[in-house]
Amino acid sequence: MHIRRWLLRYIAVTLVFGTVSPARHFPGGSEIALAQTSLLVSQEKISELEASLFVQDPHLESGKKAIQLIWIPLPIQKYCLGKTSKECSTIDYCIRTTNKRASMCQNLSVDTTRLSAYPQDVPPRRVLSIVYFLPIATADGFDTLAKFFENAPKGSLDRLSRRARIRARIKLTRSVDDDQFEVLEILAVP
């Protein structure tokens, strides 16, 4: 009976996803894993685009020098200016949550209950950030970013500011559940 159920599942997955020929049958289950992997990949959408990213000093507890690049959805950028990345992420969470009365959503400088959800086609769907440890040698233009970071006045990268925004070419990966991004090239620094 167990083999019969497995075989029916295998045939159903194979017919639906068309990734394996029904004539091939190996009891190890590797074909089903292949079909499930194909399903996950097909639900991701990858695109390259230019975006404005905020630069911040993450002040890591380890004392290591690092640069944090933050991508903030356009609808909340004005509410995040002058805030730390953590405060901005809290505002972002409180806009997206179904429980806008959560304790962390109280006493914010912004009344998130009055703000509507982000439009679905606006990237990113939430505040995203990447931390790069110095020295950086990953892509074009990172040397100019490192110079900007090193020469910035003390404390000027502690809060989000339009004066600490860069232009970058990024790879955006959208899946059903979340967005991710990767910086491909730094195009312009202040």
What confidence score (pLDDT) does residue 107 get? 85
Reference 105, options 128, 86, 113, 125; nearest CA is 113
Q: Exposed, middle or buried, 93 (CB in 10 Å: 0-12/13-18/19+)?
A: middle
Q: How confident is the model at residue 26 (pLDDT cuts 50, 70, 90)?
A: very low
The answer to which of 38-42, 44-48, 58-62 has the lowest mean pLDDT is 38-42
Percent of the chain with pLDDT over 90: 51
Q: Check whether 23 has a pLDDT greater than 70.
A: no
Q: Does residue 16 carry a pLDDT above 70?
A: no
pLDDT of 159 reads: 96
Tell me what pLDDT residue 169 has.
Answer: 96
pLDDT at 180: 92
Mean pLDDT of 135-163: 90
Residue-wise pLDDT tens digits, 66-101: 999 999 999 999 999 999 999 999 999 999 888 877
Question: What's the whole-model pTM score?
Answer: 0.74
